Structures are given as structure tokens and as C-alpha cells.
């Protein structure tokens, strides 16, 4: 995942949201005086960053004591007092990220005033919002958003509403401090599949990854509620794991992307490789309680190999970044995994072969 100039280091970290205090895996790129983060969409990093954290006048807190159940968190306090919480995959990664960021902060000119505008600047006064509670309030028959029949370009859509109606509702109830703040909240609802685009205009807005916002404050852009709330059990990943499988010694751990077995979507997972017995477990780093694996496999007798980066190999879905490898278990289950770099892929393959 290369391409940026003057890159000091890059890799996955899990970031706490400013408006909604949930945790999302993002690809971070550290350069001389700023830290950029990108969303991964369909197995590939988006072309433009979702946010920029200026390191000029920034302070690093590691270890961070704000989250007792997340000991791997680094806190960055920007010059404008905005706090950013970033979680690493292990203590070694936490400490090395903090050290590298702190080195760049010390190297930055404290008198440099032409800082890049942070995409998080408008979030400073935001409050904690639960998206599932918010969507239930929006669907209330008396006080929520009214579903109506609307038209677009000669087409008629039932049980939908305009984007501007959603923004009006969020602002009028003081859920959002401004219309731009409300657009960000609505975009999070889109991202979590709680609201869906209806018609051409809103659909194109969501597919336009050049924009950091997926929701339109527009009276002609149409949306509807999802039929049901998004499931949180990640059933495409979950595999029952006996407790005894977690008894092995940890050999290696880190963030990788994994393709789901059913939906074939790509998700960032924290992988932990153990030996005696040899198992590879993966965890959902975005869950509040992220210390229980959501899946795993025995590595005894498994086959592991790198996949070609020219084109999309068979069994792979999505516009992937590359650095792919495959694990085939003895019961013929195929796992497709994507590392952040060629070197990281080689390290994982070598480590897996040593314990299997």
C-alpha cells in the first residue's frame, strides 16, 4: 500500500470516531509533519484520506490510561486540543508507532503556521452518539422522519425521504451542531447500512470515493431506512473455537485483511499466531470487547502460499490492493488474507510454515 511521498511508516490502526465513539480500522500513513488515515473499501485503500492529523504542536500519550479495556491505545492531542485515540495490534506496535510519531513531532518546526487543515476540525465539540439508538428515533412514527412517495427523473419511489429532511431533523433536535456536522452523522448511517440511497443521485454520491461524505444535504437526493438493523455478529466470520485452542504460545500478531467466507467482503482483523498447539485466530478490533476471537483455524497440516499480484486470483472478490496469501486447512477450507506489504506477507507465510 504505497504511493505517498516522504512516508516514514504506514499500516493499520484502529481509530475512535469523534462524533460516534465507535472504533474503525483505518490505514495510517505517517509523514514528516502529519498523520493521514484512509478507509479501506472493497479490499483497497481509498484514493483520498478520510482525515489529516497535523503533528505540529501535537503531543503523544503512551501508554494511554483513558481506556482500561484497551491497553494498546495511543492518544494524540493536537495543537487545537482535539484528542485522537489510535489502537495498535500489540504492545510492540503501540510503542513503535508512538516513538515514530513522537520523533516526527520533535522534528517539526513549532513555529510553522501553515498547517494542513484537519478534516476532524469540525468534530471538536461533538458528542457521543449511538447509531442504533439514533436510527430508532428517526423511525418513530410521531417524532421521527416521515417516509413518503418521491420522484426522481421520472421514477417514483415509495417509503423514502430527501437528504435535506434528514439534515433538518438532526439539526432541529440538537443532535448535530451544524448542517455539515449532520452530514457527517448521516454519512456514518450510510456507512453502517442503516440508511440506504434510493435513486441515481444519492447512489452516485455514495460511490464517489473522492468525497469524504457519502450523504447529500439535498432536497432531490432520496434515501430510505434499511429493512432491518445491521447485524453485529459478523456471521460470515464466526467459527466456534474451543477455549483450549487459545492455550498456545503467541508467536506473531498483527492487523491483516481477511475475505469473508459467505459475503466475500474484506474486513480488517487482528490475527494472532500460536504454537503448541498451532492455531491462527482472528479478532474483530472494532468491537468494544475485542479480546474474544471471532474465528480461527488449526494450522496442523495446512498449506500456505503467496498469490500473484498481477490481476485478481481465482477465489478473490473485490478490487484488492495486493500482497495476498492463501491458507488451505486439512478439511479444505480456504482462507484469503491480505497483508500491508510484500515484506509483511513474507513474514506471515514464514511464521505460519514454521508452526504448521
- Same-domain pairing of 106 and 19: yes
Cβ–Cβ < 8 Å for 112, 105: no
User: Nearest to residue 51, comparing CAs of 34, 38, 42?
Assistant: 38
Q: Give residue 324's pLDDT.
A: 94
- Same-domain pairing of 141 and 173: yes
pTM score > 0.85 for this model? no
Q: Give residue 233's pLDDT.
A: 44
Strand pairing partners for 282?
271, 295
- Give the count of beta carbons closer than 10 Å to the beta carbon of residue 48: 13
* Rounded (5°) CA angle 208-212-216: 70
Beta-strand ranges (E) seen in 46-183 are 51-54, 59-61, 73-77, 83-87, 148-152, 155-162
d(CA 151, CA 169): 21
Q: Give residue 9's pLDDT.
A: 95
Q: Give residue 3's pLDDT.
A: 44
Per DSSP, 242 falls in state: -
**Residue 230 belongs to a domain:** no
**Range(s) of the domain holding residue 298:** 243-355
- Same-domain pairing of 17 and 117: yes
Where do we find the cell 498481477? Answer: 310
Q: Give residue 109's pLDDT.
A: 60
Which among 121, 144, 159 is the end of a domain? 121
- Cα–Cα distances in Å, from 13 out to 24, 87, 201, 222, 275? 8, 6, 33, 34, 25
- Same-domain pairing of 188 and 252: no
* pLDDT profile of the chain (356 residues), mean per 10: 70 89 93 92 86 92 84 91 93 92 83 41 46 89 87 79 91 86 88 87 74 78 74 46 64 95 90 93 89 90 88 78 92 94 96 94
Q: Give residue 244's pLDDT.
A: 42
Q: CB-based burial of residue 207 (10 Å sphere; 0-12 exposed, 13-18 middle, 19+ buried)?
A: exposed
Which among 71, 89, 121 is the end of a domain? 121
Quote the number of domains for the chain: 3
- The x, y and z cell numbers of residue 76, run together, are 494524540
d(CA 16, CA 288): 11
Where do we find the cell 484488492? Answer: 320
Could you tell me whether strands 73-77 and 23-30 are parallel, antiparallel, or unpaired per DSSP bridges?
Answer: unpaired
**Residue 3 belongs to a domain:** no
**Residue 234 belongs to a domain:** no
Amino acid at each position: 500500500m504505497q504511493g505517498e511521498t516522504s512516508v516514514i511508516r504506514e499500516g493499520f490502526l484502529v481509530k475512535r470516531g469523534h462524533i460516534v465513539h465507535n472504533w474503525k480500522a483505518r490505514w495510517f500513513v505517517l509523514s514528516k509533519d502529519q498523520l493521514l488515515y484512509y478507509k479501506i473499501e472493497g479490499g483497497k485503500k481509498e484514493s483520498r484520506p478520510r482525515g489529516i492529523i497535523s503533528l505540529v504542536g501535537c503531543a503523544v500519550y503512551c501508554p494511554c490510561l483513558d481506556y482500561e479495556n484497551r491497553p494498546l491505545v495511543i492518544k494524540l492531542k493536537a495543537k487545537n486540543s482535539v484528542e485522537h485515540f489510535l489502537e495498535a495490534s500489540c504492545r510492540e506496535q503501540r510503542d513503535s508507532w508512538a516513538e515514530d510519531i513522537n520523533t516526527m513531532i520533535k522534528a517539526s518546526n513549532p513555529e510553522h503556521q501553515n498547517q494542513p487543515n484537519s478534516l476532524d476540525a469540525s468534530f471538536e465539540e461533538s458528542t457521543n452518539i449511538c447509531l442504533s439508538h439514533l436510527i430508532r428515533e428517526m423511525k418513530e412514527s410521531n417524532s421521527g422522519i416521515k417516509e413518503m412517495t418521491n420522484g426522481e427523473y421520472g421514477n417514483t419511489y415509495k417509503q423514502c425521504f430527501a437528504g435535506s429532511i434528514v439534515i433538518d431533523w438532526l439539526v432541529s433536535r440538537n443532535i448535530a451542531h451544524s448542517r455539515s456536522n449532520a452530514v457527517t452523522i448521516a454519512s456514518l448511517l450510510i456507512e453502517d447500512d442503516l440508511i440506504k440511497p434510493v435513486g441515481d443521485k444519492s447512489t452516485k454520491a455514495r460511490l464517489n470515493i473522492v468525497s469524504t461524505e457519502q450523504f447529500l444535504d439535498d432536497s432531490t437526493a432520496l434515501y430510505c431506512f434499511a429493512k432491518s438493523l445491521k447485524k453485529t455478529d459478523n456471521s460470515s466470520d464466526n467459527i466456534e473455537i474451543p477455549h483450549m485452542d487459545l492455550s498456545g504460545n503467541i508467536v506473531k500478531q498483527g492487523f491483516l485483511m481477511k475475505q469473508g467466507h459467505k459475503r466475500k467482503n474484506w474486513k480488517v482483523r487482528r490475527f494472532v499466531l500460536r504454537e503448541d498447539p498451532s492455531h491462527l485466530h482472528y479478532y474483530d478490533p472494532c468491537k468494544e470487547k475485542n479480546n474474544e476471537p471471532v474465528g480461527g483455524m488449526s494450522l496442523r497440516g495446512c498449506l500456505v502460499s503467496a498469490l500473484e499480484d498481477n490481476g485478481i486470483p481465482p477465489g478473490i472478490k473485490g478490487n484488492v490492493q495486493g500482497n495476498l496469501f492463501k491458507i488451505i486447512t486439512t478439511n479444505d477450507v480456504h482462507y484469503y488474507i491480505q497483508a500491508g506489504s510484500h515484506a509483511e506477507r513474507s513474514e506471515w507465510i514464514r511464521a505460519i510454515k514454521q508452526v504448521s
